[in-house]
Every structure is written in structure tokens, then in C-alpha cells.
Structure 1
Amino acid sequence: MRRGGHALAAVAGLAAAIPVYYLTDAAARALRGGTVAFAPAPAALAYVAGVAVLIRVLTVWPVAALACGVPLTAAGALFALDLDAAVGVAATLPWARAGGLPWPTGPAPWAAPGEPPGTLAGTTGLYALTGAFLVLSALLPARRRSILGG
């Protein structure tokens, strides 16, 4: 990949970190709502599927996977090491006052008002797990990536 391709992949990876962050949080909140209601959570499946598709696309380009995985891993580490600081940072993110999601949620029971976006996904380790997967996929030798890619 040429230098311009690396820059484009890095920008794509950084841009993908935003939807991965919010979709992962939405999935965690929908799962919590399903657990609390003791009911199925089909929205959670849709959000997890969206995250899986984005991750699969990112793993094709190691630079994009790194550019998305490193911030997610850092967010996961911050939630694991200093929860108060992580919640404070999450409260400064866009849509923090709108229930934590960039799309309207209506009266959804899992959109807890006052809970900054990413709090549930961060405290459960989903960001650390997702970010670590992306970073490790980028660090695999090229011959292993081709086996994983089909």
C-alpha cells in the first residue's frame, strides 16, 4: 500500500471508531434492557451485527484496524483503570445529554438519561475487547491475515 493509501486507511479507521463506539454502547444498553425486562432484545442483535460488519471491514486494512483499535483499547483501559475519569470524558462526547445515542431513542428503557455514552460498554470491557481484537488483527503477519480473510 502506498503512503496515500495508508493515510486514507488511517482516516477511515479513525472515522469508524465513532460508529463502533456508539453501536457497541447501544448494543450493551439494549442487552441490559432485555435483561431487566427478561425479554428478547432484537435491537441488541442488530447493533452487534453492525459492529461485527464494521470490524470485519476494518480488519482487511491493518492501518485502519490500528487507527480504530488503539482509541477503543485506550477507552477500555481508561474505564478499567479510572472509572470516574472515564465517565467524565464520556460526558463530554457528542450526544451525551440526549441519552448517549446519536439517533432518537424514544421511550426506550435502555436509554438511561444522565448516563454518558459508552459507560456501560466501557465498564463491561467491550471497548477493551473490541479494540484489542482490532489491534491484534493488524499485528498478525500478512500470511495469517490472508488465511483469516478467506
Structure 2
Amino acid sequence: MTNRDFKISPLAALAACATAVVLMTGCSSLKTPATADVAVSRAAVDNAASAGAADLAPDEMRSAREKMRMANQALKDRDYKTARELADQAQADAKLAQSKANSAKATSAADEINENIRVMREELDRANQQAPKQ
């Protein structure tokens, strides 16, 4: 058997190389530490806590912190796929908690403004009733 007996089309060779690259990339990403993912998620949890989410969205914050704890443990155990997944879930929980906290603050501010407007209207009505009529 000579080299001329075994021919492969350039397109098939390109497809085989592309498949090999995709497979190697996919497998290597599972072995890469998920430290960046965990760090980004930790920052999201910290930002949510700074926004007051621990008081205004305690369930979501509890969930985010628990998932961060589990992600850190998975990272220590070198289970990078699980660490990455848990970090992503923790980040989503933290963002939800922060959104709920911001929403609660905005609602509270709007309620306070509406109360101030109501009080001012009452004062204006009282002042108009006491003013001498001409």
C-alpha cells in the first residue's frame, strides 16, 4: 500500500481537524480551575450584600451564599465543572437578590414621596380654607 492508495479529501481532513480541536477544547475546559467564575460570583454576592439584599431579599441571599460555599468546596475538590455551575447559580441568585433589594428601596422611596405629597396637599387645603375670601 502506497501513499497514493490512501487519499482523503481536503474537506474531510479539515472536518477531522476541526472535530479534534473542538473535542480537545471541550475536555480541557472541564479541567481548568473555575477560579475566575467563582471570583466573579463572589463579587456579585458581595455587591448584593452591599445593596442591602440580606435584609430585603434574605432567601435569595441565603441561597447565593450557600451555593458559593458549595462552589468553593467543589473548587477545593477539583470538581471544576460543578464549581462553575454552582458559581453561575450563585451569581444568578445574587443578582436576583440585588434586584429585589433595589426594587424594595425604590418602592419605599416612592411611598415616602407620595406620603409627602399627601401631607402637602392637606396643608394647602387647610391654608386655602383659612385664607380670607375676596
- Asked if these proteins are the same fold (TM beyond 0.5), I'd say no
TM-score calculated relative to the size of structure 2 = 0.30
The structure with the larger Rg is: 2
Higher relative contact order (CA 8 A, sep 6+): 1
TM-score calculated relative to the size of structure 1 = 0.28
